[in-house]
Chain A
Amino acid sequence: MSKKHHQANKLSLNLSSFIPTLKEKGILFFMDVANVVAYLKIVFRNLFAKRFEFQEFLKQCYQIGNKSVGLISITGIIIGLVLTIQSRPPLVDFGAVAMLPGMVAISIIREMGPVITALICAGKIGSSMGAELGSMRVSEQIDAMEVSNTNPINFLIIPRVLAATVMIPVLTLYADAIGIFGSWLGINIKDSISIKLFLNQAFTQVDFMDIVPAVIKSFFFGAVIGLVGCYKGYNAGRGTESVGIAANSAVVTASLLLIIVDLIAVQVTDLL
């Protein structure tokens, strides 16, 4: 057999082993999509039809707020400081330093506050939901719940998704406030400005339409974090390693989806 012929054979062998893998991956992808659609259908059906676990909802709201508030405070203040310190030199060059508070406030309210808060919560809350529900699946706690005549979708998933949907906008507004305070600190490193004058300069440039779309998109961010975290945990495999996989996958998927939702939200806001 010639060398050329041998290489061609080798190539066809490689291709033939590659194509079934691709086919299998394709099938797995579409099965995943079907599972997600079925999951969303069940969640939305139970959201309106079944009894609401109010106590569990309150507990989850507390957990989400309590778990994230420290991290969001630190991140918020740093974002405010960094944005101000980075933006100041070009504005000084153009003699527009008086625009600094307004510019930073708009950046934080429209984009930085919602996105950074959502990404932090995806890491903190999404992973925690994935790990908690994954661990409950592995240790048969979800099965035990079902046997006790408790619908796990109603008890575990809906309160978590709703709590994330409600709490992320609250945390976003808090992050905005802390970020703006951080900006005031940043300006006071080189200049001296009273908080009253700073806020006055900032909010004369902030419009109602800067705040509303940002708050609306943070509701969607919350829903994404809750839905993804719960989906990954609830559908975790049976082995203990599945818990880690579920937590990791919840963070990665939620973070990616948040960026996509943000892109869509920016396009929609631009049309308004």
Chain B
Amino acid sequence: MEKNTKKVIIDIKDLKKSFGNQKVLDGITLQLHEEENLVVLGKSGSGKSVLIKCIVNLLEHDEGSIVVGDYELTDINEEDLVEVRKKIGFLFQGAALYDSMTVRENLTFALSRLNKSFSKKEINNKIVEALDNVGLPDSIDKMPSELSGGMKKRIGLARTLVVNPKIILYDEPTTGLDPITSYEISHLINDTKAKFNNASIIITHDINCVKTVADRIVMIKEGTVYKEGNLEEFIKDEDPYIQSFFK
């Protein structure tokens, strides 16, 4: 695998996280570079979602270090955490749209919490632009309950994009979607990267999605990094565990 010369924007070293007696992450080390799509691959329950939740401090890690930009997350204070979270967008597995708000209000909420100085006109322009980017400009006044699963994911991505993050964390973006919508979402991830030059960590076990979006892959097994490489290296690898994903 060629060495990525771009700047490291997330640096994780020897990360450990347990829930009671159950070790979920047992010494994960990985890096995310600028403008890179890093796919984290692994079985359900292997700790992939826990890993990205630790990156935004939704879960506090037990040991090891996570550095996002210039900020080390261990014992981070509230003001610095705000700065870290401004850099990161998070697309949740079920999109996590606020049920009681329309699409417009969902996006306004994200935007106004980040920067209070935006005028109403600026907010409206940014919302329209974000919805255009995900191909759903007509959904602006709909409630989340009126949207399909794929549309919810797209609106979730629009809510993430509207704040213009440098890093996007995708938690199983294609899970529960039909193959066509999964294909569209995977290409949307690539389009987003091409347009905004952001780096992404994509948590998935959908191999079609991996093949579409991955610049680099990290496979997690039993809380540790099992293999790291590009798509070609994974496909050629004869390890039965790896092949169980790719065949």
Q: Do A and B bind each other?
A: yes
Leading 7 A-B pairs by shortest Cβ distance: A144-B96, A140-B96, A140-B92, A147-B90, A148-B113, A148-B110, A150-B113
Find out whether the CB atom of B114 lies under 8 angstroms from the CB atom of A148: yes
Count of interface residues, chain A, beta-carbon cutoff 8 Å: 13
Determine whether B149 belongs to the interface, using a CB cutoff of 8 Å to chain A.
no
Where chain A touches its partner, the secondary structure class is helix
What 0/1 readout, one digit per residue, does chain B (89-129) give for beta carbons within 8 Å of chain A? 01011101111000000000110011000000000000000
Find out whether the CB atom of B114 lies under 8 angstroms from the CB atom of A149: yes
With both chains docked as a complex, state the minimum distance between the C-beta of B106 and any C-beta of chain A, in angstroms: 9
Q: Give Cα distance in the complex from A146 to B84, angstroms.
A: 12
Interface residues of B (CB under 8 A from A): 53, 56, 58, 82, 85-86, 88, 90, 92-94, 96-99, 109-110, 113-114, 163
* 8 Å CB contact of A143 from B58, B82, B88, B163: B58
Q: A146-B58, A150-B109 are in contact. List 13 more A-B contacts (CB 8 A).
A: A135-B99, A136-B98, A139-B99, A140-B92, A141-B97, A144-B90, A147-B58, A147-B85, A147-B88, A147-B90, A148-B113, A148-B114, A149-B82
Q: Give Cα distance in the complex from A225 to B163, angstroms.
A: 36
Chain A positions within 8 Å of B93 at CB level: 140
Q: Give Cα distance in the complex from A146 to B58, angstroms.
A: 8
* 8 Å CB contact of A147 from B56, B97, B98, B99: B56
> In this complex, which of A135, A149, A150 has the most chain B Cβ atoms within 10 angstroms of its Cβ?
A149
What 0/1 readout, one digit per residue, does chain A (128-160) give for beta carbons within 8 Å of chain B? 000000011001110111111110000000000
With both chains docked as a complex, state the minimum distance between the C-beta of B145 and any C-beta of chain A, in angstroms: 12
Chain A positions within 8 Å of B82 at CB level: 149
